[in-house]
Structure 1
Amino acid sequence: MNSIIENIIKNMEKVIVGKRDVLEKIVIALLNDGHVLIEDVPGVGKTKTVATLAKTLDGDFNRIQFTPDVMPSDVVGFSMYNPSNGSFEYRKGAAMCNFLLADEINRASSKTQSSLLEAMEEAQVTVDGVTYKLPKPFMVLATQNPIESYGTYILPEAQMDRFFLRLSIGYPNKSEEKRILDRFESENPLTTLNKVITKEDVIKLQNEVKEVKVSDSIKMYILDIVEATRKAKEITLGVSPRGSLSLLRAAKALAFIRGRDFVLPDDVQEMAVPVLAHRIIVNSNIKSQSMSQEDIIKQVLKIVEVPIFQI
């Protein structure tokens, strides 16, 4: 693994126990300026994971607890009249940071959810006709509880498509949970966590990821997977072109953290589920059979021919 990435993950593991795969995936999103949706039950460490990432990278971290009364201006900011000089001045919203934790994002109204669309796609916000660039790097990490539906609003497809990855942290096993009890018994290790990389270093890593090579056969493999989602009878809405580009970038980042400057079919397969599953709409007949979006993407991977890759 790339040594810098290894340092980032090891530092995060001082707080987050037994979730190396999740941490790797979050770093992959970071390397692509991508946003992450974490779907899981309360208490498994969603918020702590985001705070740990922000502290590891010495980034500005904001958290906004989404509720029905949160307004778009709370997210993107607003203009306030200054009587001393007779002008309107911009007041920053929660999005003006490096790492934004949108906690329980599906508890806010659709209007408030949609206020994040421009920030997530173009790294900027527009208030009263004036555009303000967000700092770099900028990353939204949103959480939602997939079990509770009372008082929630379904995320629109346009917003789901802007999340680079959808992840689930999951419960720890017994030995991991024992380590959590030992580690957090007397103090929170997050309070003593040190940064291991600067924001400038992150931007440099992002540029290095762009140099990872992808052969035409790998690109065609990605397109075959995406096309299969558009033709599958189990799927009402297949993966968008944004999804195919995200899969390409995710595979490049995975190759990079594995210490390679080229992408293998295995990289594409490993990233396909977290990148693509949330971008499809499953038809109602399949839903009744308890097949998840993840299950269907795994089926697609089985039927699409894997290219013979030569180094």
Structure 2
Amino acid sequence: MTITAAADGSALGNPGPAGWAWYIDEDTWRAGGWPHGTNNMGELKAVLDLLEATAVDADQHLHILCDSQYVINSVTKWMPGWKRKGWRKKDGKPVMNVELLQSIDRALAGRSVEFEWVKGHAGHAMNEAADRRANAAATAFSKGRDPEVGPGYRAGSGASVPVPASRTAPPASAPAASASAAPEPEDLFAYFAPEPEPAPAPAAAPRRASAASAPTPIAPATSELDEVTQRELALLTDLVRAQPSRAAQLLHPDFTEIGASGRAWTREEILASLGPVPGTTASDLIADALAPDVVLVRYRTEDRSGGAVRTVLRSSVWVRHQGQWLLRHHQGTPARP
């Protein structure tokens, strides 16, 4: 089933009094804004608020109608590269509206989301409805008044229609929690299961709009920081974790880890207990060059395999060893609630 909604932003003067809105139907919409902002801020905030409002129905596919190529390209094309570069563009300059983009990235985790571009001010009923509400919010702020915020979203209130098979894959079902369920992994590599026989790489599945999952480790790197972050994320993939010999190629001979449980691990102990970590995603990656041959990678992981979300803050030190980037040390720290 699908929730279809239009999202739009508006700014008077750009920058100036700004508004945003998303619209599903006359009984299901929401708007807001700021006394001073840009049109792009409004477009992004409309998408973010829509994602957050519909999270109560996260098992349903979300179809977002958007007239902003900036928003669609940011989320579906540019965001993975920005994340690898520490939320910086190719020229090294900081990404604009980074806080909104990072919040959208987090809100997309685990969701089945599709963006469709529609031409603005061209008579599209839902787009026009969202545009009127965003503009009304901007106008209200320009006059020093509070905008009309709308009725919001209630569980099950989205318009639901069958999802065409060619447009999206159904979201994966979360595993049911039970008393006999396997314990959650405490450390990046510590998923205690017998080492499986090598298996062929799984067939590529359709990807959602935001690439929250780890990329294929053979993806070409465009810089040394890209190469290091791709190697870090490769260690979360089943392809690598199901075959310790692959992981061994990424670990320094003197590798050590202090896991989220507080336990210290050696390279041999890690490889002996290595196994897949289903339900784990990585986000908010920042890579910093500490020295010509040393890179620090910081990020967070979310593990949903046990039913509840478990967030761990992670940091890794990569060094260039005999011409290759190898992981020298990793540490995980449970995030505070």
Task: Flag whether TM exceeds 0.5 (same fold).
Answer: no
Normalised to the residue count of structure 2, the TM-score between the two structures is 0.27
Greater RCO (Cα-Cα under 8 Å, separation 6 or more): 1
More helix by share: 1
Higher Cα radius of gyration: 2
Normalised to the residue count of structure 1, the TM-score between the two structures is 0.28
More strand by share: 2
